[in-house]
Amino acid sequence: MAILADEANVSQEGKLNVMGIFDRIAAAEFPVMHPKMVFAFRVEAAHGDGGRGFPVNVELLDPEGTVLFQAGGEMMAPRVPAGEFTTSNQVFTLVGLQFPKAGLYRFVVTVGDAEPHETPFLVQSAANDPMMN
């Protein structure tokens, strides 16, 4: 699971709290600076994953595939009893991100050897957004 939102955090109990999920940004003109967005995602681990480390890479790509943001690291899966699973929530707060033009942008998350997960969103002219007219 991966989403874009106005705000997100992980509680002391490990719960992912999210407010203001969105999939498009409307701009009066370009380039446009978005004041704040949060990209949050959840990774699931099963019994066979327990005790292993997995490289994680997060990228924000523009319509041409140019990387606008990148973060990487490693996640260590805890021991998981057979027949059960566990989850880990990750939250990235991006402040003052600049979008040079309208188009389809996407966050791409890669965990270990798994297929990358893409979360697309539109950056569009406010004139083309029926909610803004």
Residue pair 125/102 in contact by the 8 Å Cβ criterion: yes
CA dihedral 121, 127, 132, 133 (to 10 degrees): -150
Q: What is the pLDDT of residue 80?
A: 84
Residue pair 101/84 in contact by the 8 Å Cβ criterion: no
Q: How far apart are CA 33 and CA 115, in angstroms?
A: 31
What is the radius of gyration, based on Cα positions, of the chain? 17
Q: What average pLDDT does this structure show over 115-122? A: 96
Q: How many CB atoms lie under 10 A from the CB of residue 79?
A: 10
Q: How many CB atoms lie under 10 A from the CB of residue 61?
A: 18
* Reported pTM: 0.87
Q: How far apart are CA 110 and CA 60, in angstroms?
A: 12
Model pLDDT for residues 25-80, shown as the tens digit of each residue: 999 999 999 999 999 999 888 888 877 888 999 999 999 999 999 999 988 888 88
Residue pair 116/109 in contact by the 8 Å Cβ criterion: yes
